[in-house]
Amino acid sequence: MYHTRIEPRVSETDGVGHINNTTIPIWLEAGRNEIFKLFTPDSSFKNWRMIILNMNVDYVSQIYYGKTVDIYTWVEKVGRTSLVLYEEIHQGETLCVKGTAVYVNYHIKEKYSEPIPPEIRKELELHLRK
Amino acid sequence: MYHTRIEPRVSETDGVGHINNTTIPIWLEAGRNEIFKLFTPDSSFKNWRMIILNMNVDYVSQIYYGKTVDIYTWVEKVGRTSLVLYEEIHQGETLCVKGTAVYVNYHIKEKYSEPIPPEIRKELELHLRK
Amino acid sequence: MYHTRIEPRVSETDGVGHINNTTIPIWLEAGRNEIFKLFTPDSSFKNWRMIILNMNVDYVSQIYYGKTVDIYTWVEKVGRTSLVLYEEIHQGETLCVKGTAVYVNYHIKEKYSEPIPPEIRKELELHLRK
Amino acid sequence: MYHTRIEPRVSETDGVGHINNTTIPIWLEAGRNEIFKLFTPDSSFKNWRMIILNMNVDYVSQIYYGKTVDIYTWVEKVGRTSLVLYEEIHQGETLCVKGTAVYVNYHIKEKYSEPIPPEIRKELELHLRK
């Protein structure tokens, strides 16, 4: 799986005193940077491919400012043109968030879904969740 | 249903050129302000009640900077201590996002879920989705 | 001056209990939407012109969730290619933020600063701060 | 000086194609985490001290997605109750942002400015900008 370590920011908390729920999708997207790079090696937006179709997030436990969090990103399934990810956020020993995200490999200028190329598929399958 | 009109901000777009997917949960939460006020009439965080348990978002169509969007928030179901919302975002004639959110009426200091009071239940049921 | 009304969002607060300081530049930028439209009437990013050079913000008084805020945007000075704005944020009777922003009219693809066209200059001067 | 390395996020870009200007204050605040910890060692918001009074940011050069950035935070001056920081953001060899921030050591519940304790002052002075 892919692993990203994040240091929570004051601006990511809310008045209730924990990390705000809307910060979670931002962190999960940050955890997909290596996958984005597979599809767009030069990180340029004019060659961008990955477009999100669905996001599902379970908020399991509160996350606090002052302690790093770990984002884990597994590949759940590689379809012909789409990709399902399974993601978790841990803080210390605690599982705080689990969720899924569905992406499609989309040619933005020409507006069609492209098959995921075999070399990217092979790389993604190294991160398959058992 | 509840209705909130939002003017997209430049900071809410991303390099691909549309509203970034992580902006959507922020807008949907903004659309719940009237519901938060039902549970915490003084809008103070020390009396805060609504804690999110799950969020599910379908990204149906891209949203553009430069044109207002409408957030619609229906009550899908009122449980004993929890609440399911159904939400849509439209830009002009286009349905761009649909999703659900599950909240629990939680006493944060004492750490237990409280039954939703009858007067709030009655108010919420005025916004039930048929 | 330009006037924008904003409803604070829970996600814009922080653990201290007020609107986080990093939300302020986001709101101030939102208050410049009409100015952006003068320079880019179709709101497209490929024709974008306004690039920020400097921002200065005085945090005068805390801003609270639960009460609308008003953003006021004056034109302080129109230079040959650049523009100085003076901005205030009020919540009810309280002045909460004052600041300035400097923008340049920049041709992004060709990488040079363009003179501000006379018809835009005339429109901006209607919003000059006395 | 304090040093924080940050991996830019897609959500931190905007339609123009670079990191949005409103992301910069968020990163600069992230760069102050160690200073916040000096004043609030348990990172709890009920013991929070550092309140921002002014922020000034010069946008020197565009920042791009796909390459880490380095935040450098110097102490410019330690006053009786307040603190001036000087901050820079670099991406590779390029200076992209420079700015200052003024904070006060504020007792939020009792609403008064407290003198900066000698042991914190000593620690801060290790990070003075020459």
**CATH number of the domain within which B73 lies:** 3.10.129.10
ipTM over 0.95: yes
In this structure, are residues A21 and C17 in contact, taking their beta carbons and an 8 Å threshold? no
SS3 for chain A is CEEEEECCCHHHECCCCCECCCHHHHHHHHCCHHHHHHHCCCCCHHHCCEEEEEEEEEECCCCCCCCCEEEEEEEEEECCCEEEEEEEEEECCEEEEEEEEEEEEEECCCCEECCCCHHHHHHHHCCECC
pLDDT at D86 over 90: yes
User: Which residues in chain A have Cβ-Cβ distances shorter than 8 Å to D67?
Assistant: 43
User: Which residues in chain B have Cβ-Cβ distances shorter than 8 Å to C45?
Assistant: 13, 17, 65
Residue count of chain B, please give it. Answer: 130
Two tokens, residue A45: 């937006």
User: In the prediction, which pLDDT does A130 show?
Assistant: 84
* Residue among C27, C38, C32 nearest C73 (CA): C32
* Residue among C44, C89, C91 nearest C66 (CA): C91
The more confident residue out of B109 and D58 is D58
Name beta bridge partners: B98: B58, B88
pLDDT at D87 over 90: yes
Instruction: Chain A: give the shortest CA distance to residue B124, in Å.
Output: 22
In this structure, are residues C14 and D18 in contact, taking their beta carbons and an 8 Å threshold? no
The residue written with tokens 């978790």 in the block is: A88
The structural domain count of chain D equals 1
Asked, for residue C113, whether it belongs to a domain, the answer is: yes
- Residues C48 and C110: their CA atoms lie apart, in Å, by 12
At D119 the three-state DSSP class reads helix
Return the ∠ at Cα C29 (arms to A10 and B2), rounded to 5°.
80
Asked, for residue C130, whether it belongs to a domain, the answer is: no
Instruction: Chain B: give the shortest CA distance to residue C74, in Å.
Output: 19
Give the count of beta carbons closer than 10 Å to the beta carbon of residue C7: 15
Asked, for residue D27, whether it belongs to a domain, the answer is: yes
pLDDT digits (tens, 9 = 90+) for B51-99: 999 999 999 999 999 999 999 999 999 999 999 999 999 999 999 999 9
Confidence at D19, pLDDT banded by 50, 70, 90: very high
The residue range of the domain holding C72 is 2-125
User: In the prediction, which pLDDT does C41 show?
Assistant: 97
pLDDT digits (tens, 9 = 90+) for A78-90: 999 999 999 999 9
Instruction: Chain D: give the shortest CA distance to residue A48, in Å.
Output: 11
- Residues D8 and D10: their CA atoms lie apart, in Å, by 7
Of D14, D25, D108, the CB nearest to C25: D25
Two tokens, residue B78: 């009122």
User: In the prediction, which pLDDT does C109 show?
Assistant: 87
Instruction: Chain B: give the shortest CA distance to residue A3, in Å.
Output: 20
* Residue among C26, C17, C9 nearest C99 (CA): C26
Asked, for residue D130, whether it belongs to a domain, the answer is: no
Asked, for residue D31, whether it belongs to a domain, the answer is: yes
Burial class (CB within 10 angstroms; exposed 0-12, middle 13-18, buried 19+) of D75: buried
- Residues A63 and A97: their CA atoms lie apart, in Å, by 9
How large is the average pLDDT for residues D38-51? 97
Torsion-angle region of A22 (φ positive above 0: left; ψ -120 to 50: alpha; else: beta)? alpha
Q: How large a percentage of chain A has pLDDT more than 70?
A: 100
SS3 for chain C is CEEEEECCCHHHECCCCCECCCHHHHHHHHCCHHHHHHHCCCCCHHHCCEEEEEEEEEECCCCCCCCCEEEEEEEEEECCCEEEEEEEEEECCEEEEEEEEEEEEEECCCCEECCCCHHHHHHHHCCECC
How large is the average pLDDT for residues B19-39? 98
C-interface mutation test, from A9, A10, A27, A62, most C Cβ less than 10 A away:
A10
Asked, for residue A130, whether it belongs to a domain, the answer is: no
A-B contacts (CB, under 8 Å): 60
Report the Cα–Cα distance between both ends of chain C, in Å, rounded. Answer: 10
In this structure, are residues D76 and D100 in contact, taking their beta carbons and an 8 Å threshold? yes
Q: With a cut of 50, which residues of chain C have pLDDT below it?
A: none
User: In the prediction, which pLDDT does C95 show?
Assistant: 98
Name beta bridge partners: D105: D50
User: Which residues in chain A have Cβ-Cβ distances shorter than 8 Å to B13?
Assistant: none
Per-residue pLDDT of chain A (130 residues; tens, 9 = 90+): 999 999 999 999 999 999 999 999 999 999 999 999 999 999 999 999 999 999 999 999 999 999 999 999 999 999 999 999 999 999 999 999 999 999 999 998 889 999 999 999 999 999 999 8
Of C11, C15, C17, the CB nearest to A10: C15
B88-102 core/surface letters (b: 16 or more CB in 10 A; e: else): bbbbeeeebbbbbbb
- The pTM (predicted TM-score) of the whole model is 0.98
Asked, for residue B130, whether it belongs to a domain, the answer is: no
- Residues A42 and A26: their CA atoms lie apart, in Å, by 21
In sequence order, the 6+-apart residues with CB closer than 8 A to the CB of B101 are: B28, B32, B52, B54, B55, B56, B84, B85, B87
